A and B are shown apart, each in its own frame.
Chain A
Amino acid sequence: MNSRERVLKLFKGEPVDRVPCFSGMGNVTEEGINKLGYRFADIHLDAKMMADTAATTYKIFGFESGVVPVDLCVEAEALGCVINVYPHAEGILYPTIKEKLIHKEDEMDIKIPTDLAARGRVPLLAEAIKLLKADIGNDVAIGSYVLGPFTLAGQIMELNDLLKLSFKKADKVAKLLDVMADAIVIVAKEYEKAGTDFITVREMGATTDVLSPRVFKSLILPPLQKIMKEIKVHSVLHICGKTNDIVTDMMDSGTKAISVEQKNDVAESRKKLGKDALIFGNYDPYNVLVSGDEELVRSTMRKCIDDGVSAVWPGCDIWPTVPPKNMLAMIDEVKKYGGKQ
């Protein structure tokens, strides 16, 4: 069973020989970028460089997926926001939104551009998925990600205003999130056409550290359900923070799998969701993988598996400066320990 078969079988609910070690979120490494002789700031604007870089995490370390995009600004840019890729930055700086689309409450009634699929870097991403698939698609599953509706709304308008309005004028926000869901589906469809095997919906902004479980259910869940209904490839829903109170709601979105971070008590989630639910998680990609030593990496992997994850998977993007020996230790430990359950 190769890595690709293992991940795809897992998604289909078929038996696998061991827990896979992969991610549907960003996982490019400095090691990979340097080997190619690229600069981080350049890979966001060139499909080939992006795909080449994304493939290195599998090629160098044996990580069991290949994922593009690398940054979080694709949808907002296509909708009309201006992004900053920090072209002259020496180190690693991820692109951010420079210019928002909505500046005040009465601008919230936006329409999706009819040519959204052709705008910004959506075509570039489709091209990168094709290249990545042609390169390593026989060996590993290819993943892409889109943002969740609330997280995207928080990019195109002031998050401060969005949060307050989600309390004061929930109906207005609900309407905006519904439009966001439509936009996200359009982008996800392009990724599907390009051949991605699975799509992760990253609704980082709607964590229970920020919004109450009640608001999550009434405001965030409906547009998420709309998106999940339209995604035809395998889907994953990622939410940051202490998600234990909403794991059932997350599953109710219609996603095939949920992705949780280190603040989630996975043993608890497993009890709540039952043995067949796909729960991906939940190691700390910075404090364990980047700044931990090999022993911490190995013990954390064992803990994830003992807690009952269906796949060992990071709580967020893997930070590019990850020491190569930690990447190798992670994958080695999952291979050794991941079949024992």
Chain B
Amino acid sequence: MVDEAKKKEVLEKLKNAVIQYDEDACKEGATEAVELGMDANEAIFDGLVAGMEEVGRLFEAQEYFVPEILMCADALYAGLDILKPHCQQMDLGIKGSVVIGTVEGDVHDIGKNLVKMMFDVAGFNVYDLGRDVPLDKFVEEQLRTDSELVCLSAMMTTSMVGMPKVIENIKKKNPDCLIMIGGAPTSKELADRWGADGYAEDASNALKEAIKMVAFLKKLRDEKLKK
């Protein structure tokens, strides 16, 4: 039995290490969690992710800016790398795989990487195509992996306009696949007009949207199976 007080201390350490972008403290906390025999999923969600949630709040309050978030993400990954091998099959009620990338003509991938991190944390299978990805590549990769979700990112208006074509082509071949778009120039209105299922301006919203969408898809499939 893990000592509750000790457990709480380790979770707090992980959380604060993420908030204070302290990679070493995060590694330490993760190692302690493993040595104590704590549930790795719990350490990830109640430690690392709880920290990231606070980081999101600090970002909204304009106390943190992008450089701080990137450093917090480094700390989170330092802990995640240690905890991941000790994860039991995660029972989040959903499982999913996702194809993610920044569209052709755009070499910005900071937002995309933050979203990817949240999928990694949630135990998704992530197929990361990187940046400046030719539009057809998204369609091919979705077909190859049969992923439930495709995420398209763009930071510049000049590249965002490639998105509707990808959405159309994927939906034509696989109407069940859900598509999320994200990045500074995108909006709820554009997502609706282009037939995307979700939209996220930033990483924390993207994860919430993604889980909602995959859960919905699972429900649809279950209903189909019943019939």
A: which residues have CB within 8 A of B? 84, 86, 91-94, 96-97, 159-160, 163-164, 166-168, 209-212, 215, 285-287, 291, 316-317, 319, 321
Q: Would you give the shortest CB distance from A133 to chain B, in whole angstroms?
A: 26
Contact at B108–A166, with CB atoms within 8 Å?
A: no
Contact at B110–A160, with CB atoms within 8 Å?
A: yes
Contact at A211–B161, with CB atoms within 8 Å?
A: no
* B-side contacts of A96, CB under 8 Å: 105-107, 132
Known: A96-B107, A211-B65, A287-B187. 5 other contacts (CB 8 A): A94-B156, A163-B66, A210-B65, A286-B161, A291-B190
A–B complex contacts, Cβ < 8 Å, 17 sampled: A84-B132, A92-B158, A93-B105, A93-B162, A96-B106, A96-B107, A96-B132, A159-B108, A160-B109, A160-B110, A163-B70, A209-B184, A210-B65, A211-B67, A285-B157, A287-B187, A316-B157
Residue of B at shortest CB range from A94? B158
Decide yes or no whether B195 CB sits under 8 A from chain A: no
Contact at A212–B157, with CB atoms within 8 Å?
A: no
A285, B157: Cα distance in complex, Å: 9
A287, B193: Cα distance in complex, Å: 12
**Most chain B beta carbons < 10 A, residue from A93, A94, A166, A317:** A93
Residue of B at shortest CB range from A168? B71
Q: Would you give the shortest CB distance from A168 to chain B, in whole angstroms?
A: 8
* B-side contacts of A210, CB under 8 Å: 65-66
With contacts A96-B132, A160-B110 taken as known, whether A167 is within 8 angstroms of B157 at the C-beta atoms is no
Contact at B67–A163, with CB atoms within 8 Å?
A: yes
A167, B74: Cα distance in complex, Å: 14
A271, B193: Cα distance in complex, Å: 37
A164, B67: Cα distance in complex, Å: 5
Contact at B161–A319, with CB atoms within 8 Å?
A: yes
A287, B187: Cα distance in complex, Å: 10
Decide yes or no whether B96 CB sits under 8 A from chain A: no
Q: Would you give the shortest CB distance from B67 to chain A, in whole angstroms?
A: 4
**Shortest beta-carbon contacts, A-B, top 3:** A167-B67, A93-B105, A163-B67
With contacts A94-B158, A209-B184, A321-B161 taken as known, whether A215 is within 8 angstroms of B105 at the C-beta atoms is no
Contact at A212–B65, with CB atoms within 8 Å?
A: yes
Contact at B71–A319, with CB atoms within 8 Å?
A: no
* B-side contacts of A287, CB under 8 Å: 187, 189-190
Q: Would you give the shortest CB distance from B21 to chain A, in whole angstroms?
A: 9
A225, B67: Cα distance in complex, Å: 23
Q: Would you give the shortest CB distance from A295 to chain B, in whole angstroms?
A: 16
With contacts A209-B184, A286-B185 taken as known, whether A92 is within 8 angstroms of B67 at the C-beta atoms is no
* B-side contacts of A92, CB under 8 Å: 158, 161
A171, B104: Cα distance in complex, Å: 34
Q: How large is the interface on B (under 10, 10 to 19, 20 to 34, 35 or more residues)?
A: 20 to 34
A233, B87: Cα distance in complex, Å: 62
Which among A97, A160, A168, A319 is the interface contact of B158 at CB below 8 angstroms? A319
Decide yes or no whether B169 CB sits under 8 A from chain A: no
Contact at B157–A319, with CB atoms within 8 Å?
A: yes
Residue of B at shortest CB range from A84? B132
Decide yes or no whether B68 CB sits under 8 A from chain A: yes
**Most chain A beta carbons < 10 A, residue from B68, B107, B108, B185:** B107
* A-side contacts of B108, CB under 8 Å: 159
Contact at A286–B110, with CB atoms within 8 Å?
A: no
A86, B162: Cα distance in complex, Å: 14
Contact at A317–B65, with CB atoms within 8 Å?
A: no
Residue of A at shortest CB range from B104? A93
* B-side contacts of A286, CB under 8 Å: 157, 160-161, 185
A159, B113: Cα distance in complex, Å: 12
* B-side contacts of A94, CB under 8 Å: 105, 156, 158-159
Residue of B at shortest CB range from A204? B156
Considering the complex, which residues of chain B in the window 12-41 have a beta carbon less than 8 Å from any beta carbon of chain A?
none
Q: Would you give the shortest CB distance from B66 to chain A, in whole angstroms?
A: 4
A291, B193: Cα distance in complex, Å: 10
A285, B161: Cα distance in complex, Å: 13
